[in-house]
Amino acid sequence: MEDGPPLILRQAQHEDAPCLAVLATQVFMDTYATGGVRPTMAREVLSAYSTAAFESALAAENTRLWVAEVDAHLVGFAQVRLDQAHELAPAGRPAELLRLYVQEPFTGRQVGTALLRQAELLARDAGAAVLWLTPWVHNARALAFYARRGYADHGLTWFHFEGESHPNRLLARMLAAPLHAV
């Protein structure tokens, strides 16, 4: 980030859970609720992005959560789940990039790139050979972002909640082996 306070990446802490919940809700709604809010979507958001859901994720052994901060304000986060397989993902020990969310005023300012780089390092250092994710088919900006960073499209998959099915693409990238000291 060229102007203003520097971008700081750090591991998320328990006290970040309320801010993560609000930030995730805001980014989700800006991305997926472009036609308004339905009861099914409201229930999904209130459940998946609650403070308790983030407290649980922060406590999970297989989850890594890193935040992006500017001037002591959270502006984005990356959530990686280790050892998460998907039938469309390439062979190799997998990790899932469950979420990479950046608040709209900070898109285009390299926050997402920095968080993605950190997520790849976290996954690789935990032994993952492949990082995969499932963005919504109508999120053209996300699809282009990952394509520019070497993520290949491995096919159609679905996100299900409350009897609804939403089309996603499975994108994946092989991770370089960790460097070992000689």
Share of the chain above pLDDT 90, in %: 88
Share of the chain above pLDDT 70, in %: 96
Give a yes or no: residue 181 inside a domain: no
Cα separation, 47 vs 42, in Å, equals: 9
Cα separation, 161 vs 47, in Å, equals: 11
Report the pLDDT value the prediction gives residue 4, as an integer from 0 to 100.
80
Report the pLDDT value the prediction gives residue 178, as an integer from 0 to 100.
64
The predicted-structure confidence for 75-100, as pLDDT tens digits, reads as follows: 999 999 999 999 999 999 999 999 99
Residues 6+ apart with CB under 8 A from 147: 153, 171
Cα separation, 11 vs 65, in Å, equals: 6
Give a yes or no: residue 96 inside a domain: yes
Q: To the nearest whole number, what is the mean pLDDT of the chain?
A: 94
Q: Which domain holds residue 150?
A: 7-174
Is the distance from CB of 114 to CB of 68 less than 8 angstroms? yes
Give a yes or no: residue 180 inside a domain: no
Cα separation, 168 vs 31, in Å, equals: 14
Give a yes or no: residue 179 inside a domain: no
Backbone angles phi, psi at 116, to 5 degrees: -65, -45
Q: What is the mean pLDDT of residues 66-70?
A: 97
Classify strands 164-174 and 130-133 as parallel, antiparallel or unpaired.
Answer: antiparallel
Write the CATH number for 14: 3.40.630.30
CA separation (Å) from 38 to 11, 33, 54?
Answer: 34, 9, 23
Paired with 156 in beta bridges are 169
The predicted-structure confidence for 100-152, as pLDDT tens digits, reads as follows: 999 999 999 999 999 999 999 999 999 999 999 999 999 999 999 999 999 99
Q: Give the H/E segment covering residue 173.
A: strand 164-174
Residues counted in the chain: 182
Residue that wins the pLDDT comparison between 132 and 33: 132
The model's pTM is: 0.93
Give a yes or no: residue 182 inside a domain: no
The predicted-structure confidence for 16-27, as pLDDT tens digits, reads as follows: 999 999 999 999
Is the confidence at residue 179, as pLDDT, over 90?
Answer: no
Report the pLDDT value the prediction gives residue 11, as an integer from 0 to 100.
98
Establish how many alpha carbons lie within 13 A of residue 115's alpha carbon, considering only the half-sphere containing its beta carbon.
Answer: 32
Give me the number of domains the chain comprises.
1
Report the pLDDT value the prediction gives residue 176, as an integer from 0 to 100.
83
